[in-house]
Structure 1
């Protein structure tokens, strides 16, 4: 007797949904990301209908639950748009649940060194790359319709994990992190990095800029995704630095700016 959902389904032609982000990056283009701080799937649908490659969802700083994330992932999928979840740091279940809901990627915050990166890799990649536990009865494996061997191989090749470099400790070991097989990409976080340097918010400071340049250079040297955040006006400059995954803006920025402009339109009436 077995509890494996694969007991009666060991082969079949069904494949996992491919990643739009990885397809674009493999074609030599820049993946376009928009970030959500709200948890309403309708907001995701509005953003996805604009045609980005990925919607960045967040559990690190947002009180989103798994069911809310599931609806957001489904809303993005209506338009063929990937989702990437910035997870809370925790056990392997805190990472793989998002993948099993059919998110295309994970963003793991505050990766502090090579050993930390290796542990994340082991929890999020199937053998032979890592030690991820298998279920297969969820949306990513089409509810057992993807054969086990195919599922494991495709989950390793069509899903991505970005290791967030936002501390001096992580930057000190960036070469070692980027050289690890199964680390798909590095994401530079200028905000927290500036705070760790004691210059909060000065994301254009020369020390932050040096780290920004280093992350892109090392990631691309090792054939990994180079990701970060930037403004609309700064997209081309970051692409020139070598970044091939850029997040521009967030829903809360759009909403707050629109609300401010709407109220200001009344003037002194």
Structure 2
């Protein structure tokens, strides 16, 4: 994976203020990952955030709620650097993801200028399509038993650039939710990591730091921070400090 970028990410569920891009940039976070599956975002917000991100050298990834042309192509038209589909389980689903996220000749994504070309002048379609195809990441999220069974077919598919594991749903699918069998989870994730190494694809995890560390020999997309958790933990820490000050009065 020489010359491949390493992404330090924050998963976004509720914060839609463009200032978040500047906060991330100043903190050295180079990826904001917006969740349209479970998060509260619409296309207009993704468009605004993507333009802010492009202007500040922060990448913006988006998880689509489902594997449909209406979501995949529009997310990328809104300017996202990458699109991810959750619970990819079959090579047919992966092929549809590629088909709707890549311009010809790799896929059949329809062409339109806009945020995806940073509102450059119209024309130059062939070159724009070539540049965009090579720059965006098409990501399949594997997080079910069926996805594991078909992992080789999915990961080896031309046009799939990256695989991200969802440990929570994967553990639920395996019948061991709440980290009841950590070694089993690690074993299954290791299989995906090995396939990504074999086919020279990006490998990532959305999960706890302790889990990311176990795959430090080969991981390019690291997402552990979540906006809700960051806010909650910060508030808890301040509450402890307030209580500490209050006790001094006694």
Taking structure 1 as the reference length, the TM-score comes to 0.83
Match of 1:49 in 2: 26
Match of 1:267 in 2: 243
Match of 2:228 in 1: 252
Confirm or deny that 1:141 pairs with 2:91.
no
Corresponding residue SS for 1:226: strand
Change (3 A) 1:142 1:70: closer
Tell me, in whole angstroms, the C-alpha distance in 2 between the residues paired with 1:108 and 1:81.
Answer: 21
Deviations 1:45-78 (A, max 9, x none): 3123222232111101012111111222223233
Confirm or deny that 1:31 pairs with 2:7.
yes
Corresponding residue SS for 1:267: helix
Confirm or deny that 1:189 pairs with 2:166.
yes
Deviations 1:208-257 (A, max 9, x none): 111111111101211111111243455443221x2221112112111101
Confirm or deny that 1:212 pairs with 2:189.
yes
Corresponding residue SS for 2:168: helix
CA RMSD between the two structures: 2.0
Corresponding residue SS for 1:107: strand
Corresponding residue SS for 1:32: strand
The 5-angstrom pairing of residues 1-269 of structure 1 reads 26-28=2-4, 30-38=6-14, 39-136=16-113, 138-143=114-119, 145=121, 147-202=124-179, 205-233=182-210, 235-240=212-217, 242-267=218-243, 269=246
Corresponding residue SS for 1:266: helix
Corresponding residue SS for 2:157: coil
Taking structure 2 as the reference length, the TM-score comes to 0.89
Deviations 1:92-147 (A, max 9, x none): 121111211221101111101111111111111111111111122x1212335361
Tell me, in whole angstroms, the C-alpha distance in 2 between the residues paired with 1:190 and 1:233.
Answer: 12
